[in-house]
Amino acid sequence: MKKSWGKRLQYYFDYLFSLGPGVLIAALALFTMLLSLITALILVVSRLSPGGEPPFDFIEGLWFSFLANLGEGSVAGRESVWTFRFLTLGLTLASIFIVSNLIGIISNAITQKIENLRRGKSAVIENQ
pLDDT tens by residue, the chain, 128 residues: 677 888 888 888 888 888 888 888 888 888 888 988 998 898 889 887 777 778 888 898 888 888 877 776 555 556 677 787 788 888 888 888 888 888 988 898 889 888 888 888 777 777 76
Answer yes or no: CATH 1.10.3720.10 is held by domain 20-118.
Answer: no
Vertex 117, ends 114 and 123: CA angle to 5°?
Answer: 140
Q: Is 88 exposed, middle or buried (0-12, 13-18, 19+ CB in 10 A)?
A: buried
Cα–Cα distance between 21 and 122 in angstroms, integer?
Answer: 19
Q: In the chain, what are the domain boundaries?
A: 20-118
